[in-house]
């Protein structure tokens, strides 16, 4: 059953209707087969992203003057939730793409916004977010991929597809390897965080690297438990030359940019996890009403009915948590703690609800004849990426314990 939504605007309501139509016509008929195929032969469903891009659903929270949808975060996230109910890998891809545009939109110069954002938000392009490394996951400040200044460049090519050089010919040479990168090898641009000085977390900087830059190569796709159409692999930078005009923010500002981007990105993951949990709940309800044991539908047994009531409570509270954080963000209020709470609640709830959905379906739930076993595998990773749920607890507790307690 579609979730009941209170959209803030008529336009928001239209966008949800459009999303539901695309999900029903374009995503739901393909998801099972595509995920099954990608389990053995990882493949990014680029056509699904093109469909969403053509409908304007890949750029919703960004300003209209640069080609974005100009929508409140509250609307964008509910669109992500709807997509996740149909195809989780695609919803995660939409959220990741949105994350990759954030540094330029929020921290870029006017020139960078004008030159880079229209293509990034065109609906044709897909970005990758390069933060993690093999040795640097939760501990972002320990990353080793390094950008070293080189001064032999000439000319400024910010709008071109090549990496180019900055004004006056200044450029950086990037060397190192990023790991676990969604869309690696398929992305049109790579929003990267690299070391520009040895000063720990204060020595990181953010660059936007074009997908066709010389010296960029990719590892074999990771063989994962699920979310197979979210293709993930290493990104190797072998002396990739990047113009200083592709440096976003100041040198050394990378950590602050990455964390700020993740506050918003975590809400995308929270919304996607909520959509996945809703899909699992819907399957469980349908099955419980239909399946008969002891001469009655299993829904008639209080043990089942209460399990389903708890699933509904978990989905509804996850949705409330991400919407609360989104509304703070839309109002220009601080929302970092609330984003961490939403990510923690929504993804832990998605894990529980999808596991319970398998239980409701009994033996059938443990087979590939029904999608709930896939939902359960897909839920697991939401507790891990964009900051594990241990890291969310660290963020939340730091807000509470390192500041005077306040009530709002």
Ligand X SMILES: Cc1cc2nc3c(=O)[nH]c(=O)nc-3n(C[C@H](O)[C@H](O)[C@H](O)COP(=O)(O)OP(=O)(O)OC[C@H]3O[C@@H](n4cnc5c(N)ncnc54)[C@H](O)[C@@H]3O)c2cc1C
- Active centre residues (catalytic): 386
Specify the residue for token string 């109002």.
331
Q: Where are the alpha helices (DSSP H) in 291-332?
A: 302-330
Q: Are 94 and 71 in contact (CB under 8 A)?
A: no
Which residue sits closest to ligand X, CB atoms considered? 137
Using CB under 6 A, pick the residue from 66, 172, 180, 237 that binds ligand X.
180
d(CA 166, CA 158): 8
As measured in angstroms, the least distance from the Cβ of 186 to ligand X is 12
Separation of alpha carbons 202 and 327, rounded Å: 31
Rg, the chain, Cα only? 22
CB of 134 to ligand X, least distance (A): 8
Nearest approach, Cβ of residue 176 and ligand X (Å): 13
Query: Closest Cα partner for 179 from 223, 138, 216, 234?
Result: 234
Using the rule CB under 6 A, give the single segment among 147-155, 268-276, 365-373, 384-392 that binds ligand X: 384-392
β-bridge partners, 296: 293
Number of Cβ within a 10 Å radius of residue 9: 12
**Of the two residues 76 and 129, which places its CB atom closer to ligand X in the complex?**
129
- Measured from the CB atom, the residue of 256 and 394 that comes closer to ligand X is 394
Nearer to ligand X, 279 or 381 (CB): 381
Q: Would you count residue 232 as binding ligand X (CB under 6 A)?
A: yes
On the 0-12 / 13-18 / 19+ scale of CB atoms within 10 A, 208 is buried
User: Token digits for 387?
Assistant: 């900051």
Pairing of strands 232-243, 216-218: antiparallel
Stretch that binds ligand X, among 24-32, 38-46, 242-250, 388-396 (CB under 6 A): 388-396
DSSP 221: P
Shortest spacing between CB 129 and ligand X, in angstroms: 5
Asked whether position 207 contacts ligand X by CB under 6 A, the answer is: no
Q: Which one of the spans 67-75, 179-187, 289-297, 307-315 is the region binding ligand X (CB under 6 A)? A: 179-187
Q: For binding to ligand X (CB under 6 A), which residues are involved?
A: 96, 129-132, 137-138, 180-182, 224, 227, 230, 232, 381, 384-388, 390-391, 394
């Amino acid at each position: 059953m579609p979730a009941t939504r209170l959209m803030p605007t008529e336009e928001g309501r239209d966008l949800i209707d459009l999303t539901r139509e695309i999900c029903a016509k374009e995503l739901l008929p393909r998801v099972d087969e595509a995920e099954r195929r990608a389990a053995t032969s990882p493949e990014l469903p680029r056509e699904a992203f093109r469909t969403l891009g053509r409908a304007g659903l890949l750029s919703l929270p960004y300003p209209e003057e640069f080609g974005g949808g100009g929508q409140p975060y509250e609307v964008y996230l509910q669109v992500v939730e709807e997509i996740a109910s149909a195809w989780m890998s695609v919803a995660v891809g939409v959220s990741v793409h949105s994350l990759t545009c954030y540094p330029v939109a929020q921290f870029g110069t006017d020139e960078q916004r004008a030159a880079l954002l229209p293509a990034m938000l065109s609906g044709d392009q897909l970005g990758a977010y390069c933060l993690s490394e093999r040795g640097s996951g939760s501990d972002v400040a320990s990353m080793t991929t390094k950008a070293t200044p080189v001064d032999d460049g000439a000319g400024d090519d910010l709008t071109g597809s090549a990496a180019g050089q900055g004004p006056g010919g200044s450029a950086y040479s990037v060397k190192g390897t990023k790991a676990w990168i969604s869309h690696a090898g398929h992305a049109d641009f790579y929003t990267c965080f690299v070391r520009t000085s040895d000063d720990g977390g204060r020595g990181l900087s953010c660059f936007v690297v074009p997908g066709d830059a010389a010296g960029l190569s990719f590892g074999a796709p990771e063989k994962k438990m699920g979310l197979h159409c979210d293709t993930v692999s290493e990104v190797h930078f072998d002396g990739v030359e990047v113009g200083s005009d592709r440096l976003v923010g100041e040198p050394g500002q990378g950590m602050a940019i990455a964390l700020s981007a993740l506050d918003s990105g975590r809400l995308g993951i929270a919304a996607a996890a909520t959509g996945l949990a809703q899909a699992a709940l819907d399957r469980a309800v349908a099955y419980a009403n239909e399946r008969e044991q002891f001469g009655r539908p299993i829904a008639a047994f209080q043990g089942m009915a209460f399990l389903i009531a708890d699933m509904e409570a978990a989905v509804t509270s996850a949705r409330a948590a991400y919407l609360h954080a989104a509304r703070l963000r839309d109002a220009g209020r601080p929302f970092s703690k609330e984003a961490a709470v939403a990510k923690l609640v929504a993804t832990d709830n998605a894990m529980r609800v999808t596991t319970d959905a398998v239980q409701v379906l009994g033996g059938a739930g443990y087979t590939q004849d029904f999608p709930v076993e896939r939902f359960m595998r897909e839920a697991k990773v939401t507790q891990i990426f964009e900051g594990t749920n241990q890291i969310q607890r660290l963020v939340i507790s730091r807000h509470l314990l390192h500041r005077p307690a306040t009530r709002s």
